[in-house]
């Protein structure tokens, strides 16, 4: 028989506690006001949470001891927790984050000489069903909250002891379709780019979409917004619709028109990501059509050799074929790079992010 003191704390009691992690300044001001404290203390907590990346109330040296004790007793400070980390030989680390409801998402930490790039998830799973993508095989489970998006950044920077001032790039190229979760994404972006907090400049944040025209139009309307990357991945409607179901709703012409209308700042380019699937999307004709598509707006091209994963029927092209496409595009006057995906040996590269046990169907359909 379990003793009374062995039983877990009642859920209702815990759920009633507010959580400060992931709140914006207004939310924090409301929180401290409800405790009878002056609202400006919310600003102090904001700086502690996001500039200092403090994770325990006792660390908040900017607050009085009495207030810290009260916060400790009454307010949670609970971020997604890293439950698994796999270091890759190339220096990147794939992290699994556990969320409050036990669901998991993944993020990748990639250090470079002059910066660190964090690849973030925006959803648990993804609804878009692209046939080459491991996350697409999961189906959609749920959107992440703004706190869960910001929490991936805080957790990874703390885990790696990131010093304040070292540049951070964020790419929403992990699990999920970010434009399907635009409200939470933009709430997270406001916190992440706030000069009083993590202070990540908007130009260092890139949102990658499979091509939701309605979301692209909405994103373009924000005065302060992340940069845009489009996963083009094929150059005819027939090919694109076969591997990316979203193309049956918004085809290549609709996409090109939306990208041409997207309001860019001077010098800003839209990134066209192009996954190279051997024998499917890697022909010289594809290269010429890709160049024609990219000429309709300021663009740069990022070629991504397919990362094989269990259950996919695709292969990456041979190196010579990748080099030929690269040459063709650069001769057409386009800035082009080839993404040598990091973390491939730990399944942390693009499109390989899928938490075990969350796979909806064990095999891709092709």
Q: Which residues contribute to the site for ligand SAH (CB under 6 A)? A: 126, 132-133, 173, 177, 208-210, 231, 233, 273, 275, 304, 306-307, 309, 350-352
Please identify which of the residues 37, 106, 177, 273 carries the catalytic annotation.
106
Burial of 1 (0-12, 13-18, 19+ CB in 10 A): exposed
307 interface partner picked from ligand SAH, ligand SF4, none, CB below 5 to 8 A per type: ligand SAH
Q: Which is nearer to ligand SF4, 123 or 193 (CB)?
A: 123
> What's the min distance (Å) between Cβ of 25 and ligand SAH?
29
With a CB cutoff of 8 Å and minimum separation 6, the contacts of 91 are 110, 111, 342
Closer CB to ligand SAH, residue 46 or residue 306?
306
Cβ atoms of 316 and 308 closer than 8 Å: yes
Cβ 188 vs Cβ 120: under 8 Å: no
Shortest Å distance, C-beta 255 to ligand SAH: 12
Token code pair at residue 46: 């904001």
**11 is known as an active-site residue:** no
Known catalytic membership, residue 130: no
Contact residues for ligand SF4 (CB under 6 A)? 126, 128-130, 133, 135-136, 176-177, 210, 231, 351
The single residue listed with the structure tokens 């202070």 is 199
Q: Closest CB to ligand SF4 among 24 and 177?
A: 177
Residue 156 site contact among ligand SF4, ligand SAH, none (CB < 5 to 8 Å, cut-off depends on kind): none
Among all residues, whose Cβ is closest to ligand SF4?
136
Least separation in angstroms between residue 66's CB and ligand SF4 is: 47
Q: CB of 105: closest distance to ligand SF4 in angstroms? A: 12
Among 50, 256, 292, 225, residue whose Cα is nearest residue 150: 50
What residues are paired with 325 via a beta bridge? none
Instruction: Please work out, in degrees rounded to the nearest 5, the angle formed at the alpha carbon of residue 82 by the alpha carbons of 125 and 156.
Output: 95
Half-sphere exposure of 218 (CA within 13 A, CB side): 15
Which residues are marked as active site?
Answer: 106, 350
């Amino acid at each position: 028989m379990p003793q009374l003191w062995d039983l877990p704390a009642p859920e209702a009691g815990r759920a009633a506690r507010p959580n400060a992690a992931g709140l914006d300044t207004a939310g924090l001001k409301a929180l401290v006001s409800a405790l009878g404290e002056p609202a400006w203390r919310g600003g102090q907590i904001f700086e502690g949470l996001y500039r200092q990346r403090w994770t325990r109330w006792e660390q908040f040296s900017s607050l009085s001891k009495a207030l810290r004790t009260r916060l400790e007793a009454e307010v949670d400070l609970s971020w997604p927790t890293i439950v698994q980390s796999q270091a890759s030989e190339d220096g990147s680390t794939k992290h699994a984050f556990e969320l409050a409801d036990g669901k998991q998402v993944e993020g990748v930490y990639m250090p470079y000489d002059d910066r660190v790039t964090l690849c973030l998830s925006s959803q648990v799973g993804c609804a878009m069903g692209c046939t080459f993508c491991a996350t697409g095989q999961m189906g959609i489970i749920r959107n992440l909250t703004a706190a869960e998006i910001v929490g991936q950044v805080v957790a990874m920077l703390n885990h790696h002891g990131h010093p304040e001032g070292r540049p951070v790039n964020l790419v929403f190229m992990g699990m999920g379709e970010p434009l399907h979760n635009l409200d939470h994404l933009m709430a997270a972006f406001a916190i992440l780019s706030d000069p009083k907090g993590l202070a990540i400049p908007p130009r260092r944040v890139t949102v990658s979409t499979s091509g939701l025209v309605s979301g692209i139009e909405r994103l373009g309307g924000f005065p302060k917004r992340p940069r845009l990357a489009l996963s083009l991945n094929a150059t005819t409607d027939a090919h694109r619709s076969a591997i990316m179901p979203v193309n049956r709703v918004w085809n290549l012409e609709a996409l090109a028109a939306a990208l041409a209308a997207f309001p860019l700042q001077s010098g800003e380019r839209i990134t066209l990501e192009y996954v190279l699937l051997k024998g499917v999307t890697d022909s010289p004709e594809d290269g010429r059509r890709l160049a024609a598509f990219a000429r309709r707006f300021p663009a740069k091209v990022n070629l991504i050799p397919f990362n094989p994963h269990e259950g996919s029927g695709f292969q990456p092209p041979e190196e010579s074929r990748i080099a030929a496409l690269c040459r063709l595009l650069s001769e057409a006057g386009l800035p082009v790079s080839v993404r040598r995906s990091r973390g491939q040996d730990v399944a942390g590269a693009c499109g390989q992010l899928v938490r075990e046990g969350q796979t909806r169907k064990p095999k891709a359909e092709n």
